Amino acid sequence: MLQLSRSARAVLISIVAFIVLVIYVPLLLVVANSFNVASLSSWPIKGLTTQWWVVAWESPFIREALLNSVIVALGATFFAGILGTMAAFALQRYEFFGRQSINLLIVLPIALPGVVTGVAFSNTYNSVLPEIGINIGYFGMIVAHATFCIVMVFNNVGARLRRMNPGLVEASMDLGANVWQTFRLVTFPQFRPAFVAGAILAFALSFDEVIVTIFTAPPGVETLPLWILKEMARPNQASVVNVVATVVILFSLIPVYVSLRMSRSDEDD
């Protein structure tokens, strides 16, 4: 066990306490400001009201933006789920030339800054595709999001496959199951939790993405982050934005729960 002197221990504990405070105080400020009487964010808050929650609840723009976000995130998760699982199987079950390059290719969209990914897709959608008569519109947003979400499913499913017993597949085949039956009855049930976790993380990543969306959203279409961004530019609506932000903080507990479950089951194995 790491034995620390009393002074070292005290220094460490105060650094940790400082970090936890710095992480949480700003988030709590947002929650508090969603109940602020003033429409401008401030501290201390001027007085308590729930009127902004009513405004946010009744806003058709927020609902539409939320709906768009969910559609795009579901679409991106769908493609990322299929492509990420295929890539994970290919890289875990086969040894082939260029394996490392494929790995890099999958990580690249998330490793390069979002503005690069956004500008690259925007350039293709606005300058290249119209030349060959394609107007990608709404679907372009889903394609761009799916591209950087593949890595989420790929990593989670890949980590599970690495620990799966390949003998089970061979046993299933020996017992007369065909490839599809083996996948459906033997392989998939084993990696299903990892697949679901990867899909939820992909959904969350897409739901939260701002910069790529700015460049790929067709005119007039708003996702929730785009709506927030627009409202941030006119700060007199700050309190309604704080309501939406508070709801987003609450929903972020879902992927946290999932990733914790994942790391716990990792430790159990």
Partner 1 sequence: MTSVLQVPEPPTPAEVKVAAARTSRQNRRGLLWLLTPPTAWLLVLYIGSLFFLLITAFWFINPFTSKVVPGFTLENFVSIFTVPAYFATAVRSLLIALAVTLIAIVLAVPIAIYMAKIASPPMRAFLAVTITLPLWAGYLVKLIAMRVVFTENGFLNWLLAPFGISGPGFNTSTVIITLTYLWFPFMALPVYTAVRQIPHSYFDASADLGAKSWRTIRTVVLPLIKPAIIAGSVFTFSLSLGDYLVARFVGGSTQMIGSIIASNINLNPPVAAAFSFVPIAFVLVYLWVVRKMGALERL
Residues 156 to 215: which contact partner 1 by CB under 8 A? Answer: 156, 159, 166, 198, 201, 204, 208-211, 214-215
**Is 84 one of the binding residues for partner 1 (CB under 8 A)?**
yes
Options 54-62, 66-74, 152-160, 181-189: segment touching partner 1 (CB under 8 A): 152-160
**Is 23 one of the binding residues for partner 1 (CB under 8 A)?**
yes
Integer Cα distance of 171 and 163 in angstroms: 17
- CB 46 → partner 1: shortest distance, Å? 10
- CB 58 → partner 1: shortest distance, Å? 21
Tokens of 267: 């430790």
Integer Cα distance of 84 and 201 in angstroms: 12
**Is 10 one of the binding residues for partner 1 (CB under 8 A)?**
no
Point out which residues pair with 36 in neighbouring strands.
Answer: 48
**Is 262 one of the binding residues for partner 1 (CB under 8 A)?**
yes
Q: Of 66, 73, 142, 150, which one interacts with partner 1 (CB under 8 A)?
A: 150
Q: Of 47, 48, 60, 95, which one interacts with partner 1 (CB under 8 A)?
A: 95
Q: Of 77, 155, 172, 239, which one interacts with partner 1 (CB under 8 A)?
A: 155
Radius of gyration in angstroms for the set of CA atoms belonging to the chain, rounded to a whole number: 23
Among residues 138, 140, 119, the alpha carbon closest in space to that of 129 is found at 140
Q: Is 234 helix (H, G, I), strand (E, B) or coil?
A: coil
Nearest 5°: phi and psi at 48? -100, 140
Q: Which residues contact 106 (CB under 8 A, 6 or more apart)?
A: 84, 87, 150, 151, 154
Q: What is the per-residue burial (b if ≥16 Cβ within 10 Å, else e) of 152-163?
A: bbbbbbbbbbee
**Is 21 one of the binding residues for partner 1 (CB under 8 A)?**
no
Q: Of 70, 71, 74, 108, which one interacts with partner 1 (CB under 8 A)?
A: 108
Options 37-45, 59-67, 70-78, 183-191: segment touching partner 1 (CB under 8 A): 37-45
Question: CB-wise, 59 or 252, nearer to partner 1?
Answer: 252
How many Cα atoms are found within 13 Å in the side-chain-facing hemisphere of 102? Answer: 17
Footprint on residues 216-235 left by partner 1 (CB under 8 A): 225, 228-229, 232
- CB 261 → partner 1: shortest distance, Å? 11
Q: Of 65, 73, 75, 79, which one interacts with partner 1 (CB under 8 A)?
A: 79
Integer Cα distance of 205 and 149 in angstroms: 7
Give whole-number Cα distances, 174 to 124, 165, 167, 182, in Å.
49, 15, 10, 10
Question: CB-wise, 13 or 175, nearer to partner 1?
Answer: 13
Tokens of 201: 């993380």
> Cα 92 to chain center, whole Å?
24
